[in-house]
Structure 1
Amino acid sequence: MSVQTSELVAETPYIWRARRPESTGRLICLPHAGAGALAYADWVPLLPPDIELVAVQLPGRQNRIAEEPFTSVGPLVSTLTHALRPVLDRPYAIFGHSCGAALAFELAKALRARGRRGPDQLFMSAHPAPGFTGVRQLSGLPDDEFRAEMLALGGIDREILDDPFVLDSLLPVLRTDFALWEGHRPAPSDPLDCPLTVLCGDDDPRTPPDSVAGWQAHTNAEFYARFYPGGHFYFLESGAADVVSFLSRKMQTTMGRAA
């Protein structure tokens, strides 16, 4: 019997879920560089009852800290297309932030290529459209500069910032994630058939306003861009409630439910 929970619970190495057996849709969240599934724990109570939250846990973070992170996009995407099968049995949307947005795009394309059920909505947060080259590359910076850039971007938990040892242990995973996606060039492909929504902060140095419009070419369906006050982690600066409410309304409309 399925049990409802108000907390994210690890069900498999890759899937953390806050079960809502009566839900009619799912929001599958892919974390940013260095982060884990618990980055989305605070979103669970903000979602309406008909949307269940699933968060992806990748190797190299939180309860999988001892595992080596992926260093190649192909194996990562292939692994996730298999690992996520248990949660693709009903309408769903994918949300990815920063490096997680790049992963969300590749995952949606891979699911289509394999004939699997694709997302009903794709939410791309804080990531430029493919081909945009106006963002500084960070993965090759010296340690001190890389650390400074990560701290300037934000998004690192206070308890980590207050513990130099833990922070130093996180930086290699961050560098690996940035290297993975900074070195990735998406292969040409047909546009997706699902609506694509871009969200970003209006003062984000990693996603300047002119980097967003190019996403429109990657969908045959509705394209929408929404800017929030703030920087790269806009939803942490002003609180996640407004962002989660917006995602919920978009999902309910796309999936044929009343907003």
Structure 2
Amino acid sequence: MKYNSFLNSIGTPNEIKIFEEDFSEFTVEYSYPTILMPTEENFKDIFTEIRGSDICSVYLSIEQGEAVVIKDDNNFTSGLNDLKNLLVSHEEGEKINVKLNVYKNSNDNQFYFYSKDCFFNYIKSFDSLSLANFFSSNIFNHNSKVYIFINDFVGTLNSNKFFISAQYQPTEDNYEYPEKRISNIVSNNHSSFFGKLHVLPEDFIFSGNGEIDLSTLERFQRLAKILIISSVFDITDLTKESFFYKLMVISQSVNP
């Protein structure tokens, strides 16, 4: 993306302070010993790559001082003058912080990520229980399929509930919330957690040619295995630290 070109064109950073993204926000912040004065075109290049429904702001500050904020709807002349005055006040040894922040607006169960590395890191930040709870939360509409579009993702991944690719591709999936199946699982075993979920094992078993980080894929696969066991064993308990499962064996004697 052009945000990388922008951040590298204004100088050589000595520290990456923030590089993270979740389903609602993307933030990247570099620290520099000195920078070149960005132009209006530099900022416009960034804003043209931001989805129309998202809100992007660029913050520039010296050390912990007040930041100059450049927004897509700003008067660039005024913002650039403020930035010029800020850089004139910069003294040798002071850090210049440049932060790009994007607030994301999602609808119709379609979510966008600007960085695949951030998406992978975000998924890996969850333990299995937290990941199951997150995908069961009200961030998602559980009556339809979830589409996750990742800017630099290669290929596609498809499961019962999720579709992951770089851009929208029509699918023929007619997703229906499996209320009856989840209800049957919950009523036929004693689980400390399954009754609170809106996901099933097949939601995390992917097909397709998507190039996904191995440890991220393993995180999905581990959760799928836990949900499979929890759907067939009699007693299950999942915490951040451990997973307990027990299958009750009924013995019966018959006449030979």
TM-score tier (shorter): under 0.3
Structure with more relative contact order (C-alpha pairs < 8 Å, separation 6 or more): 1
Q: Which has the higher helix share?
A: 1
The normalised TM-score by structure 2 is 0.25
Q: Which has the higher strand share?
A: 2
